[in-house]
Amino acid sequence: MSVIKYWGKRDEKLILAMNESISVTFDPTHLCTTTTVAVSPVFDRDRMWLNGKEMSLSGRRYQNCLREIRARANDVEDETKGIKIAKNDWEKLHVHISSNNNFPTAAGLASSASGFACLVFALAKLMNVQEDNGKLSAIARQGSGSACRSLHGGFVKWVMGKEEDGSDSIAVQLVDEKYWDDLVIIIAVVSSQQKETSSSSGMLQTVETSTLMEYRAKEVVPKRVIEMEEAIKNRDFSTFARLTCAENNQFHAICLDTSPPIFYMNDTSHRIISCVEKWNRSVGTPQAAYTCDAGPNVVLMARDREAATLLLRRLLFHFPPNSTDIDSYVVGDKLILKD
313 burial (CB, 10 Å; 0-12 / 13-18 / 19+) is exposed
CB 14, min distance to ligand PMV, A: 13
Q: Which is nearer to ligand PMV, 89 or 227 (CB)?
A: 227
User: What x/- string results for residues 156 through 195 when contact with ligand PMV is judged by CB under 6 A?
Assistant: ----------------------------------------
Q: Which amino acid is at 132?
A: D
Return the number of the residue (2 or 244) whose C-beta is nearest ligand PMV: 2
Binding mask 195-234 for ligand PMV (x = CB under 6 A): ----xx----------------------------------
One-letter amino acid at 41 equals P
Of 263-302, which residues contact ligand PMV (CB under 6 A)?
A: 293-294
DSSP codes, 246-285: HHHHHHHHHHHTSSS----S-HHHHHHHHHHHHHHHHHSS
Strand partners, 156: 23, 173
The 10 Å Cβ neighbour count of residue 77 is 12
Residue 287 vs 291, nearer CB to ligand PMV: 291
Q: What's the CA gap between 303 and 204, in Å, rounded?
A: 35
Amino acid at 14: L
User: Total residues contacting ligand PMV (rule CB under 6 A)?
Assistant: 14
Judged by CB, which is closer to ligand PMV: 94, or 270?
Answer: 270
Interacting span for ligand PMV (CB under 6 A) from 5-13, 60-68, 95-103, 121-129: 5-13
Please state whether beta strands 298-302 and 328-331 pair in parallel, antiparallel, or not at all (unpaired).
unpaired
Site residues for ligand PMV, window 11-50 (CB under 6 A)?
21
Q: Which of 112, 258, 269, 280 binds ligand PMV (CB under 6 A)?
A: 112
Nearer to ligand PMV, 197 or 280 (CB): 197
Choice between 23 and 287, CB closer to ligand PMV? 23
112/280 with CB nearer ligand PMV: 112
Asked if 137 interacts with ligand PMV (CB under 6 A), we say no
In terms of Cβ atoms closer than 10 Å to its own Cβ (0-12, 13-18, 19+), residue 175 is middle
Rounded to whole angstroms, how far apart are CA atoms 308 and 99? 32
- Per the DSSP assignment, residues forming a β-bridge with 301 are 185, 289
Binding mask 138-157 for ligand PMV (x = CB under 6 A): ------xxx-----------
Please tell me whether the peptide bond between 260 and the residue prior to it is cis, using omega within 30 degrees of 0. yes
Please report how close the Cβ of residue 222 comes to ligand PMV at its closest, in angstroms. Answer: 15
C-alpha 128/C-alpha 235 separation (Å) is 37
Give the three-class secondary structure for 304.
Answer: coil
- Min dist. Cβ of residue 25 to ligand PMV (A): 11
Q: How far is the CB of 22 from ligand PMV (least distance, A)?
A: 8
Helix (H) or strand (E) holding 298: strand 298-302
Going 199 to 204 to 209 to 210, the CA torsion angle's sign is positive
| Residue from 2, 25, 150, 287 in contact with ligand PMV (CB under 6 A) | 2
> DSSP H helical segments within 148-209, as ranges?
199-209
- What is the closest distance, in whole angstroms, from the C-beta atom of residue 148 to ligand PMV in the complex? 9
- What residues make contact with ligand PMV under the rule CB under 6 A? 2, 5-7, 21, 112-113, 144-146, 199-200, 293-294
